Amino acid sequence: MRAVVCSKFEGPDALQIGDLPAPDMPAGYVRIAVRAAGVNFADTLMAAGKYQVKPQLPFAPGLEVAGFITEISSDVNGLAVGDRVMACVDYGGFAEEAVARASDTYVIPDSMTFVEAAGFPIVYGTSHIGLKHKLNLQAGETLLVHGAAGGVGLTAVEIGKALGAKVIATAGGAEKLAVAERYGADALIDYRTEDIRERVKALTDGRGADAVYDPVGGSAFDASLRATVQLGRILVVGFASGTVPQIPANILLVKNLTIIGYYWGAHRILDPALVNESFAELLAWFEAGKIKPHVSHVFAMDEIGEAMSTILQRKSTGKVVVLTESGAQEA
Ligand SMILES: NC(=O)c1ccc[n+]([C@@H]2O[C@H](COP(=O)([O-])OP(=O)(O)OC[C@H]3O[C@@H](n4cnc5c(N)ncnc54)[C@H](OP(=O)(O)O)[C@@H]3O)[C@@H](O)[C@H]2O)c1
């Protein structure tokens, strides 16, 4: 089958389009004819051998797909050949065929396109459980979202609004902030020209934010410590800045802060029932028009290098998606 082939751990530039054997399908899995696949920063790490999952060479990267089920293991219930689905995979998403655990595979609404579905699971899954269950965000609270025009950040803006919070978005530059505003942010901070702490205090009558969603780390995290209320909560989601924050315990103590780490990729295996419940609510919100996946760039699978550099150069907002040949023909 045609696939994006990683034959050496030398990063995105060394990826090539080629042929790989179709993957074996173990018990508990389904086979999917891939139409579209979401591109993540993690894919660039996996292609460089720097991700926690390091598959045997050669392999196809790609962590989330959308397409049709073409085959089902005999022990799988509740899914059928021909179902339109989205799924998370350990790797192998940038290929014409992928196999996914049935528990990681979700039937999508008829009104959801494969492009929307391909970039849906990771970012919406992370922000929904992260905000609702880990951060315990309440209606009426003020939520500060960093990286608010990026993949996970933009879904945190939407979901924060859906949960009834007032959302303050931070991003670099007017264009990115305009996207966050379109997706519901109540207030905007351009961290390139504005001081996050001062602006948050000004926007909250001096109180600070009740909760923070942080996929950026670095100086954004440091600002969050000072921009939160007493008893505030900070959700650590990622380190897009490249700097893993060192947490000063004295500030935690003095402000009674709670800092929570969240890694959805591991949590979805640990608690599939919660993930099921989470996707049920998200897909109901999608059908009700409450959330609307934002995909700023769509490429052919052959253009995977360009797709990855769009993310690495911070040109994307929301998600970047690649289409297989059949996905492109049908789109
Ligand atoms: N914990 C989890 O389960 C989970 C799930 C998904 C993703 N993540 C992690 O969350 C982070 C963000 O993922 P994403 O999919 O939202 O990525 P993304 O779409 O690339 O967005 C990241 C955002 O971070 C900001 N940023 C600040 N400094 C940056 C830098 N030096 N390089 C690149 N971006 C920078 C950018 O916004 P500005 O240009 O506005 O600054 C960008 O919009 C990554 O570290 C990812 O691995 C974690």
Distance, CA of 227 to CA of 208 (rounded, Å): 5
Q: Is 316 helix (H, G, I), strand (E, B) or coil?
A: coil
Q: State whether 61 and 168 are in the same domain.
A: no
Distance, CA of 235 to CA of 131 (rounded, Å): 8
Cα(219) to ligand 1 centroid in Å equals 14
Ligand 1 atom nearest the C-alpha of 319 is 19
H helices present in 106-217, as ranges: 114-118, 121-129, 151-162, 174-182, 196-203
Cα(215) to ligand 1 centroid in Å equals 6
247, 264, 281 — which closes off a domain? 264
Distance, CA of 131 to CA of 290 (rounded, Å): 16
In total, how many domains does the chain have? 2
pLDDT value at residue 197: 98
Beta-sheet pairing, 29-39 with 319-323: antiparallel
Q: State whether 42 and 159 are in the same domain.
A: no
pLDDT value at residue 247: 95
pLDDT value at residue 331: 77
Phi, psi (degrees; rounded to nearest 5) at 242 = 90, -5
Is 171 domain-assigned?
A: yes
What token pair was written down for 114? 């494969």
Q: What is the mean pLDDT of residues 2-13?
A: 96
**Contact of 323 with 295, CB cutoff 8 Å:** no
The percentage of the chain sitting over the pLDDT mark of 70, rounded to a whole number, equals 100
Q: State whether 112 and 140 are in the same domain.
A: no
Q: Say if residue 58 is preceded by a cis peptide, omega within 30 of 0.
A: yes
The response to whether residue 126 sits with its C-beta less than 6 Å from ligand 1 reads: yes
Residue 48 clears pLDDT 80, i.e. is over it: yes
Cα(153) to ligand 1 centroid in Å equals 8
Is 75 domain-assigned?
A: yes
The response to whether residue 172 sits with its C-beta less than 6 Å from ligand 1 reads: yes
Distance, CA of 331 to CA of 314 (rounded, Å): 26
pLDDT value at residue 98: 98
Residue 32 clears pLDDT 80, i.e. is over it: yes
Which among 154, 141, 138, 165 is positioned nearest to 228, based on CA atoms? 141
For residue 149, give the DSSP letter.
T
The C-alpha torsion from 153 through 35 and 20 to 104, rounded to 10°, is 60
Is 286 domain-assigned?
A: no
Q: Which tens digits make up the pLDDT trace of 277-288? A: 999 999 999 999
Q: Which tens digits make up the pLDDT trace of 105-114? A: 999 999 999 9
pLDDT value at residue 158: 98
Distance, CA of 106 to CA of 74 (rounded, Å): 18
The residue segments making up the domain with residue 318 are 2-120+293-330
Q: What is the mean pLDDT of residues 5-21?
A: 96
pTM above 0.75, yes or no: yes
